[in-house]
């Protein structure tokens, strides 16, 4: 076996795993790993953003687009601390990357050297990150690296994907040992598990016997790459599809069977179908509070008496929030193929009895369209939120990728965006991390360099991580940022106005000592970084400005002044106990008994 330094071994492993990028920032703790990456710079590109949070968001978004993990690299102490929030974001949304963190030398463990956490355990970073990853490994000798690397890489994408951490003491990067790596791809784990035949039959029969069935698709459907099978099953049997944000596009949302998102800021047809359905085939969805109107009966779902068939790769999610009539641990694509094969063997081509149900849904769609469509024509400055959604839809092709940050702009896109393809709408959903859209769009563009990649982000979120502009210039990443500028943390300000009698404090941006709204000149700020920037205040100018930004082939910032006094029309509800919940602005709850 050859003598290899630990850093060389890790670099060779990343090459064999065909990871094209490492996103990371230098530090004294990882300089030995940087030395090893220098030797493989023709095979792995090191991208060094100006903050570790951005590195992890980039890796997260890269996986969501490519479904192939890459690595991050951070130094000991503060450097690795800075990836925690972004790592939690990836874990919550089932996104994978290999977080390589550095630590102090093993010979200095528990002596309190520079940047060691040692009060409760020596070199204690793994205990910090452990709740945010599928597992944290801390090899203490070079000979331990091959096994840790193999186990970590398999674990990242096995079953429900998620980030995995390898915490490497400094000396391992430099020390040598007789070590050998497994050949690339050996020991790969398949997660294409299926259901037992009797459960496939039972699930199919429950759907066929229902008078008002729906499917609810989540990120598990996207991760399974089950779009073809989902579309075939939905269209063959005429079953409407409700989407969580990370499931959007698995069925073309222009399809008549697509009902959109469900919950407080969902589409009215989705909430109506959820309230009135008698059977739900859930495919890789969690039924979190925002997609269930905080589990209050009649606002989005009625489970029970509606019968829930919940299919998920992660058994811990089955029955977590609603009791199941049938719970199945399975890969979504495999399960849908089993359903289609069962129907073929049984000679069942379609369901004839669902015509009245589909007529009801068509009626709800018309009601919703009649209510919302006139608002898309309203002009004025600042720009109506609906006009921003429409402009983005008009300009971008079907395969364009949008990345959304946390904020009120996300509510508007959840309600009105129609994703045409999977893996084109990237959301920070479970952990709702500000900075994900701002930073993640860089990773998305690296994963899909031939496709337009546009971040729609709030003014508050952008000012948390504006250094992304430096990275775009340094590495020539032509992402576009559309800043939804409403001069406030508007999503939280809206809660103050809705639940706290408008007692607004700490949520709007004002110039000191005045009532004048304040933000930086984001277009000028972009130009100071070497990025083209334009301010848009008129709705008639937005489409052309976005067309120009996308066509430029360069990093571009659009500072779009949006009316913060216009709020999405709630069609469900949402509660933060013990505060009361609000009734829908459109539609009424319906409790089935």
- List, for residues 92-121, the tens digit of each pLDDT value: 999 999 999 999 999 999 999 898 889 999
Say whether both 153 and 217 belong to one domain. Answer: no
| Same-domain check for residues 103 and 74 | yes
Question: Residues 400, 545: one domain?
Answer: yes
**Quick one: what percent of the chain has pLDDT higher than 70?**
99
Both structure tokens of 298: 């009649």
Range 149-168 average pLDDT: 95
Final residue of a structural domain among 335, 365, 395:
365
Summarize the confidence of residues 151-172 as an average pLDDT.
96
- For residue 124, what are its two tokens? 């204690």
pLDDT at 183: 65
Q: Longest C-alpha distance within the chain, in Å?
A: 74
Per-residue pLDDT at 8 exceeds 70: yes
The verdict on 211 and 146 lying in the same domain is no
Predicted TM-score (pTM) of the model is 0.96
- Going through 71-163 in order, the beta strands assigned E by DSSP cover 71-74, 98-103, 136-137
Q: Is residue 186 part of a domain?
A: no
Model confidence pLDDT, tens digit, residues 285-326? 999 999 999 999 999 999 999 999 999 999 999 999 999 999
CA atoms within 13 A on the CB side of 260: 25
**Residue 134 domain-assigned (yes or no):** yes
Rounded to an integer, the average pLDDT of 41-57 is 97
Which bin fits 114, alpha (ψ -120 to 50), beta or left (φ > 0)? beta
Q: Express as a percent the part of the chain with pLDDT over 90.
A: 91
pLDDT at 188: 67
In a domain, 115, yes or no: yes
Q: What is the CATH number of the domain that holds 222?
A: 3.40.50.1220
| Token pair listed for 280 | 């739900």
pLDDT top residue among 379 and 165: 165
- Per-residue pLDDT of 227-268, as tens digits, reads 999 999 999 999 999 999 999 999 999 999 999 999 999 999
DSSP assignment of 477-511? ---EEEEEE-SB-HHHHHHHHHHSTT---SSB-B-
Which pLDDT belongs to residue 186? Answer: 60
Give residues with Cβ within 8 angstroms of 92, minimum separation 6: 429, 430, 431
Residue 482 has pLDDT above 80, yes or no: yes
If pLDDT is split at 50, 70 and 90, which confidence band does 53 have?
A: very high
Measured CA to CA, the distance from residue 250 to residue 220 in angstroms comes to 10
Q: Are residues 208 and 329 in the same domain?
A: yes
In a domain, 267, yes or no: yes
Same domain, 482 and 531: yes
| Distances, alpha carbon 543 to alpha carbons 403, 540, 546, in Å | 18, 7, 5
Q: What is the CATH number of the domain that holds 509?
A: 3.40.50.970
Residue 1 has pLDDT above 80, yes or no: no
Provide the domain count of the chain. Answer: 3
Backbone angles phi, psi at 161, to 5 degrees: -65, 160
Lowest mean pLDDT among 112-126, 186-200, 438-452, 522-536: 186-200
Q: Same domain, yes or no, for 47 and 140?
A: yes
Q: What is the mean pLDDT of residues 7-14?
A: 96
Q: Where are the alpha helices (DSSP H) in 347-464?
A: 355-372, 385-395, 408-416, 436-447, 459-464
145, 285: one domain: no
What is the predicted pLDDT for the residue at 486?
95
If asked whether residues 336 and 400 sit together in one domain, one would say no
In a domain, 571, yes or no: no
CA distances from 483 to 410, 520, 525 (A): 12, 12, 12
pLDDT tens by residue, 539-551: 999 999 999 999 9
The reply to whether 237 falls in a domain is yes
Looking at residue 237, its pLDDT comes to: 97
Query: Is the pLDDT reported for residue 189 higher than 90?
Result: no
User: Are the CB atoms for 552 and 532 separated by under 8 Å?
Assistant: yes
Pick the last residue of a domain from 365, 397, 430: 365
Range of the domain at 417: 383-561
Q: 555-572, pLDDT tens digit by residue?
A: 999 999 999 999 999 999
What is the pLDDT at residue 185? 61
Is 207 found in the same domain as 136? no
Least confident of 181-190, 247-256, 401-410, 522-531: 181-190
Q: Assess contact for 109 and 79: CB atoms under 8 A.
A: no
Q: E strand or H helix at 529, and its extent?
A: none
Answer yes or no: do 335 and 413 share one domain: no
Residue 373 in any domain: the answer is: no
Q: Is 443 within a domain?
A: yes
Residues 391 and 526 grouped into a single domain: yes
């Amino acid at each position: 076996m050859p003598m290899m330094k630990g850093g060389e071994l890790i670099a060779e492993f990343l090459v064999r795993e065909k990871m094209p990028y490492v996103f990371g920032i230098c530090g004294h703790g990882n300089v030995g790993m940087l030395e090893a990456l220098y030797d493989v710079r023709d095979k792995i590109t090191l991208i060094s953003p100006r903050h570790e949070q951005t590195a992890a968001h980039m890796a997260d978004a890269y996986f969501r687009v490519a479904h192939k993990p890459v690595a991050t690299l951070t130094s000991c102490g503060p450097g690795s601390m800075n990836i925690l929030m972004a790592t939690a974001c990836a874990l919550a949304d089932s996104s994978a990357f290999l977080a390589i963190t550095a630590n102090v030398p093993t010979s200095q463990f528990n002596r309190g050297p520079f940047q060691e956490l040692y009060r409760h355990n020596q070199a204690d970073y793994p205990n910090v990150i452990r709740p945010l990853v599928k597992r944290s490994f801390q090899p203490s000798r070079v000979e331990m690296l091959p096994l840790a690397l193999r186990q970590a890489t398999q674990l990242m994408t096995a079953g429900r994907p998620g980030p995995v951490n390898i915490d490497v003491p400094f000396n391992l990067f430099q020390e040598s040992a007789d070590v050998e790596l497994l050949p690339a791809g050996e020991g790969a784990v398949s997660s294409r598990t299926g259901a037992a035949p009797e459960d496939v039959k039972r699930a199919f029969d429950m759907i066929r016997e229902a008078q008002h069935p729906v499917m609810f698709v989540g990120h598990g459907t996207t991760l399974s790459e089950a779009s073809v099978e989902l579309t075939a099953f939905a269209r063959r049997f005429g079953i409407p599809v409700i989407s969580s944000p990370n499931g959007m596009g698995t069925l073309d949302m222009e399809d008549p069977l697509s009902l959109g998102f469900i919950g407080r800021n969902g589409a009215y047809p989705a909430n109506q179908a959820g309230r009135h359905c008698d059977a739900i085939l859930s495919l890789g969805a969690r039924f979190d509070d925002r997609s269930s109107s905080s589990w209050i009966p009649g606002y989005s779902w009625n489970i029970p008496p509606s019968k829930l068939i919940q299919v998920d790769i992660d058994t811990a999610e089955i029955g977590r929030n609603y009791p199941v009539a049938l719970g199945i641990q399975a890969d979504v694509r495999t399960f849908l193929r089993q359903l289609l094969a069962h129907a073929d063997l049984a000679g069942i081509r379609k369901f004839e009895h669902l015509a009245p149900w589909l007529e009801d849904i068509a009626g709800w769609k018309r009601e919703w369209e009649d209510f919302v469509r006139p608002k898309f024509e309203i002009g004025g400055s600042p720009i109506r939120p609906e006009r921003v959604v429409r402009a983005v839809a008009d300009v971008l092709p079907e395969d364009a990728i949008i990345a959304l940050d946390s904020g009120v702009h996300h509510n508007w896109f959840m309600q009105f965006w129609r994703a045409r393809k999977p893996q084109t709408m990237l959301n920070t959903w479970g952990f709702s991390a500000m900075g994900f859209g701002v930073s993640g769009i860089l990773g998305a563009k690296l994963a899909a360099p031939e496709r337009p990649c546009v971040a729609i982000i709030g003014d508050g979120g952008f000012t948390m991580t504006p250094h992304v502009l430096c990275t775009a210039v340094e590495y020539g990443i032509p992402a576009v940022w559309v800043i939804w500028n409403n001069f406030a943390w508007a999503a939280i300000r809206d809660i103050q106005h809705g639940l706290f009698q408008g007692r607004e404090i700490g949520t709007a941006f004002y110039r000191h000592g005045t009532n004048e709204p304040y933000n930086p000149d984001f277009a000028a700020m972009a130009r100071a970084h070497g990025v083209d920037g334009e301010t848009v205040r008129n709705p008639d100018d937005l489409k052309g400005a976005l067309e120009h930004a996308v066509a430029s082939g360069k990093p571009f910032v659009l500072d779009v002044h949006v009316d913060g006094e216009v709020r999405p029309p709630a069609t469900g509800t949402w509660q933060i106990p013990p505060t009361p919940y609000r009734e829908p602005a459109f539609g009424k709850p319906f409790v089935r008994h």
